[in-house]
Amino acid sequence: MAHTYEFARPALTVDIVVLALDEEDLQVMLIERDLKPYEGQWALPGGFVRVDETLEEAARRELEEETGLKDIYLEQLYTFGDIKRDPRERVVTVTYYALVNLEGHDVHASTDARNAAWFSVNDLPKLAFDHETILSAAHERLRGKVRYQPIGFELLPEKFTLRQMQHLYEVILDRELDKRNFRKKVLGMEIVKETKEIEKDVAHRAARLYRFDKRRYDKLTKQGFNFEI
Amino acid sequence: MAHTYEFARPALTVDIVVLALDEEDLQVMLIERDLKPYEGQWALPGGFVRVDETLEEAARRELEEETGLKDIYLEQLYTFGDIKRDPRERVVTVTYYALVNLEGHDVHASTDARNAAWFSVNDLPKLAFDHETILSAAHERLRGKVRYQPIGFELLPEKFTLRQMQHLYEVILDRELDKRNFRKKVLGMEIVKETKEIEKDVAHRAARLYRFDKRRYDKLTKQGFNFEI
């Protein structure tokens, strides 16, 4: 059934940047488009907002339909509305981003998209639309966030080494950090607690495992701090 | 001329929160609606996005049409898409906010709206739609920002006293600050420079005037810091 309006309306979509961490890099979830435009190219998951769903509901629905990812904490990123960002017609997109632990989520292709997969943000295919800009904005937001909020709860496994945590910060900030300073800062903030366990099955000397002190972590998230490293 | 689409589309609007500072309070620019719904009630300036303008262009156009305010630095705030936020139909609104110096801007009513005026955020009329939520989000964003970025360049006159600057922070944070700590912190950041002038025409003892060190200010805006006060 066609819908008629007095004035022309931009189409409204959502696009979602899902970021995860592996041993090497920050990873982003992409889908292979099976429709024009950009057929066969990789893109962020996303699609049109229905009139009877909120923006976040639309983002959750599209993400699950296209990648199988669900029950993820989404945060609104930015709304992109350049006139020519979609070659078909005027499309405004509200973007969301999420940080997930790679281990906890099964990913599968769906009926909506040919293929869904993780890509290293440092080794990306050419993306459809302005999705490179959107991904950069998500990375930038994350880079800003680590300066004044604790980070990692969603990205690291439940128990982790300080080396893993430093690696996370290095990947987000895209530079190497001094090991001693980093540990001093993290332990000083009291957001992590030592466990009695050490790493298993590692070639190097097994390191102590830590976990987040969720109460302290949430308090600092609310209150903010300055993580100058 | 009517416009027909295969699928129903939400309407897309922009709304703008313009904040300024007077001697007492944080002020927000509101317009009196002369159309239904909420006829005669106060609301944020805003309106429908045309298909041939960007979101920011729409925000600038509506702001000037409705209030006469122009040449203002707008920052995108958040996109609100609750299903029932507009009683007429589904309307998604992309919001922007701006900080301005009260002195520099003439405000006038326009053909689009009956009346435009500044209101203290501490003494507001009942607002139309979800505009109280949008205003709260802008105030909250500002509160978050003062913790890790310098602020005040757009809100204070070119030359100002440290008392005025402290007042700005107190209004944004909504609590009293310790005068000595505040001065120590601000002078320590080196974002303000002493001028050779003092206040004129004041009943109390005339205080030293300062101005922002724009280079240092911009550097700290980019790099961030922690203004723990």
pLDDT confidence tier of residue B10, bands split at 50, 70 and 90: very high
- Residue A21 in tokens: 């961490």
**Residues of chain A under the 70 pLDDT cut:** 104-114, 226, 228-229
Cβ contact A49–B92 (<8 Å): yes
pLDDT at B5 over 60: yes
Pairing of strands B42-43, B26-32: antiparallel
From the centroid of its chain, how far is CA B158?
A: 18
Round to whole Å and give the CA distance between B29 and B153: 19
- Give the closest of A3, A11, A79 to B79, CB-based: A79
How near does any CA of chain A get to the CA of B182, in Å? 17
- Mean pLDDT within B206-226: 88
pLDDT at B1 over 80: no
How near does any CA of chain A get to the CA of B14, in Å? 11
The pLDDT assigned to B221 comes to 85
How near does any CA of chain B get to the CA of A89, in Å? 9
Q: Which residue ranges make up each domain of chain B?
A: 11-145, 157-222
Which residues in chain B are contacts of A141 at CB distance < 8 A?
A: none
Which residues in chain A are contacts of B14 at CB distance < 8 A?
A: none
Among A4, A5, A48, most B C-beta atoms within 10 A, so best to mutate, is A5
The pLDDT assigned to B212 comes to 95
The pLDDT assigned to B104 comes to 61
- Mean pLDDT within B140-160: 87
The upper half-sphere exposure of residue B173, i.e. CA atoms within 13 Å in the direction of its Cβ, equals 19
- Give the closest of B51, B78, B147 to A8, CB-based: B51
Gyration radius (Cα) of chain B, Å: 20
Contacts of A187 (CB under 8 A, 6+ apart): none
The pLDDT assigned to B126 comes to 97
Q: So what's the ipTM on this one?
A: 0.91
Cβ contact B9–A8 (<8 Å): no
Reported as a single tens digit per residue, the pLDDT across B209-218 is: 999 999 999 9
The pLDDT assigned to B114 comes to 64
Architecture of domain A11-145: Alpha-Beta Complex (3.90)
Cβ atoms within 10 Å of B225's Cβ, excluding its own? 19
Report angle CA B79, B153, A138 to the nearest 5 degrees.
35
Q: Which fold has domain B157-222?
A: Arc Repressor Mutant, subunit A (1.10.10)
Domains B11-145 and B157-222 share a fold: no
Residues of B near A (CB-CB distance < 8 A)? 2-12, 48-56, 76, 78-79, 81-83, 90, 92, 94, 144, 147-148, 224-226, 228
Question: Could you tell me what percent of chain B has a pLDDT over 90?
Answer: 70
Reported as a single tens digit per residue, the pLDDT across B21-76 is: 887 789 999 999 988 999 999 999 999 999 999 999 999 999 999 999 999 999 99
Round to whole Å and give the CA distance between A94 and A9: 15
How near does any CA of chain B get to the CA of A194, in Å? 27
Element (H, E) at B194: strand B192-198
